């Protein structure tokens, strides 16, 4: 069965509303509002496919209502109903984005033709957007570079879950591509034509975050001069990307859970439930399990967010992808800066592959950008020397889990062990794992090299 077209008629004249609800027939579901305020309320609650809006009404007039509706949803389709001699209003309505005009008095058949015309145009526009975003999705998809087994796993998981309604949690250190993945999920889903809205949950005060996400009613707090819809409303029918979800204040987590479970929420200072249809994707580089333990995150929310988790590898866990990434970024920045720095020397690539990359792909990308701009790859050594690699990215050998070691002797011993491990791995890679040659270069005996390889659990993947 064909879905009914949801119409909202906003007119103070009951005969107009009556005529339309009775006259339009089976294919329409008509909701009527008697004035502007009621119309706006119904609009935000029921999200009609099309609105028929009278210009002249007591209280809020049609132009004011149009302005507010467009503010809530830029893409909503509104047909204005106008009486005689309202040319000025017609011009203003066009400026505000009305789709059509119908002069009063009208014939219902004529109204139906206009409605069909607007809906048809809307459908074509959506189809065009779909084609565009499919093209974009393709090029965006190409942008997640990496052929290592970990990256292939990530890409196939994205393909599997993109076109579902599952909530996806993307985890990974800073700079590992969490945002690219979130955008990919959206553009590979059937929501691709609808908005992708991003909100970072860290680094803004709780009150502000609440107002941003859920909107507020006029007068809800000092400075709230008019009602403002929140990002969840803007994201209606699309995808909401909540970045740094691990930093969401506890008080807001209950509200988020309500959106996830009941698809509704209340604006700040409001009492009405607002319905939204939003797919949620979130990301974090925090240890959520630790946050859970410390009760910084509600456990019901944690389990609800965890429907699917995509773990992005750190760059040091996919070193074999470094040459591909380098190539990709070289192309990108040569094009951007009209340069012709085609490739790096094998020595430079090797240096890059041995580095710890605390800033992951983002850090690599920035370095390549600088190389292209300055046309000098000697800055690699400089950068590597200048970067402090935190101990977790060196994979500390034999460190006690979780607690800090203050004994100077033990600390130095461990740090020496780490240095040794790194150097041995470097030399082994250099000699293509020719242990005899490596021991010569390291100036230690062959036997002690074998012993150290075993003791430090060094293997060819470098992990």
Residues that bind ligand ATP (CB under 6 A): 143-146, 172, 174-180, 285, 361-362, 365
- Choose one: 128-136, 179-187, 209-217, 288-296; the region binding Mg ion (CB under 5 A): 179-187
> Which residue's CB atom is positioned nearest to Mg ion?
179
Q: Does position 179 bind Mg ion by CB under 5 A?
A: yes
CB of 371 to ligand ATP, least distance (A): 16
Round to whole Å and give the CA distance between 90 and 98: 9
Report yes or no: 150 and 318 within 8 Å, Cβ to Cβ. Answer: yes
**Residue 280's binding partner out of Mg ion, ligand ATP, none, with CB under 5 to 8 Å set by partner kind:** none
CB of 344 to ligand ATP, least distance (A): 17
> Which residue's CB atom is positioned nearest to ligand ATP?
177
**Residue 172's binding partner out of Mg ion, ligand ATP, none, with CB under 5 to 8 Å set by partner kind:** ligand ATP
DSSP string, 273-333: EEE---EEEEEE-S-HHHHHHTTSS-HHHHHHHTTEEEEPPPGGG-GGGHHHHHHHHHHHH
Round to whole Å and give the CA distance between 347 and 327: 15
- Choose one: 27-35, 174-182, 393-401, 417-425; the region binding Mg ion (CB under 5 A): 174-182
Neighbours of 415 (CB within 10 A): 14
Round to whole Å and give the CA distance between 151 and 311: 10
CB of 350 to Mg ion, least distance (A): 29
CB of 242 to Mg ion, least distance (A): 11
Peptide bond into 190 cis (omega under 30): no
Q: Does position 261 bind Mg ion by CB under 5 A?
A: no
Helix (H/G/I), strand (E/B), else coil: 228:
strand
Cα angle at 355 between 350 and 361, to 5 degrees?
A: 100
Six-digit token string for 404: 């800090």
**Residue 227's binding partner out of ligand ATP, Mg ion, none, with CB under 5 to 8 Å set by partner kind:** none
CB of 297 to ligand ATP, least distance (A): 17
Closer Cβ to ligand ATP, 175 or 238, answer by number? 175
Neighbours of 392 (CB within 10 A): 12
Closer Cβ to Mg ion, 179 or 277, answer by number? 179
Closer Cβ to ligand ATP, 107 or 147, answer by number? 147
Q: Name the site residues for Mg ion (rule: CB under 5 A).
A: 179
């Amino acid at each position: 069965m064909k879905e009914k077209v949801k119409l909202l008629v906003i007119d103070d004249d009951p005969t107009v509303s009556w005529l339309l609800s009775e006259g339009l027939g089976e294919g329409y579901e008509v909701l009527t509002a008697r004035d502007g305020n009621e119309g706006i309320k119904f609009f935000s609650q029921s999200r009609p496919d099309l609105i028929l809006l009278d210009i002249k009404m007591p209280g809020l007039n049609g132009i004011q209502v149009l302005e507010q509706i467009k503010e809530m949803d830029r893409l909503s389709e509104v047909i204005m109903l106008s009486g005689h001699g309202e040319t000025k209003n017609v011009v203003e309505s066009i400026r505000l984005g009305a789709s059509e005009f119908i002069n009063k008095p009208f014939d219902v058949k004529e109204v139906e033709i206009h409605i069909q015309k607007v809906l048809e145009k809307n459908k074509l526009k959506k189809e065009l957007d779909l084609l565009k975003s499919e093209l974009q999705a393709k090029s965006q998809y190409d942008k997640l570079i990496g052929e290592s087994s970990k990256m292939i796993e990530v890409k196939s998981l994205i393909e599997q879950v993109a076109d579902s309604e599952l909530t996806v949690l993307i985890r990974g250190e800073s700079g590992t591509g969490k945002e690219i993945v979130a955008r990919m999920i959206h553009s590979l889903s059937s929501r691709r034509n609808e908005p992708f809205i991003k909100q970072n949950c860290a680094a803004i005060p709780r009150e502000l975050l609440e107002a941003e996400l859920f909107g507020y009613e006029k007068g809800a707090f000092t400075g709230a001069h008019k009602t403002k819809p929140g990002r969840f409303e803007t994201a209606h029918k699309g995808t909401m990307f909540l970045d740094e979800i691990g930093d969401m204040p506890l008080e807001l987590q209950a509200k988020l859970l309500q959106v996830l479970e009941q698809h509704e929420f209340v604006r700040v200072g409001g009492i009405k439930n607002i319905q939204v249809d939003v797919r949620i994707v979130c990301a974090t580089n925090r240890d959520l399990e630790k946050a859970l333990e410390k009760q910084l995150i509600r456990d019901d929310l944690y389990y609800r967010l965890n429907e699917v988790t995509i773990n992005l590898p750190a760059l040091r866990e996919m070193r074999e992808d470094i040459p591909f990434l380098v190539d990709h970024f070289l192309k990108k920045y040569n094009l951007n800066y009209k340069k012709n720095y085609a490739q790096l020397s094998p020595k430079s690539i090797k240096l890059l592959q041995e580095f710890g990359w605390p800033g992951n792909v983002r850090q690599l990308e920035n370095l390549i950008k600088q190389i292209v701009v300055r046309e000098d790859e000697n800055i690699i050594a400089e950068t590597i020397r200048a970067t402090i690699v935190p101990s977790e990215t060196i994979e500390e050998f034999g460190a006690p889990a979780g607690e800090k070691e203050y004994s100077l002797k033990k600390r130095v011993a461990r740090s020496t062990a780490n240095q040794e491990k790194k150097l041995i791995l470097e030399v082994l890679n250099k000699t293509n794992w020719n242990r005899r040659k490596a021991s010569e270069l390291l100036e230690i005996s062959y036997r002690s090299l074998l012993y150290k390889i075993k003791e430090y659990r060094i293997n060819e993947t470098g992990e």
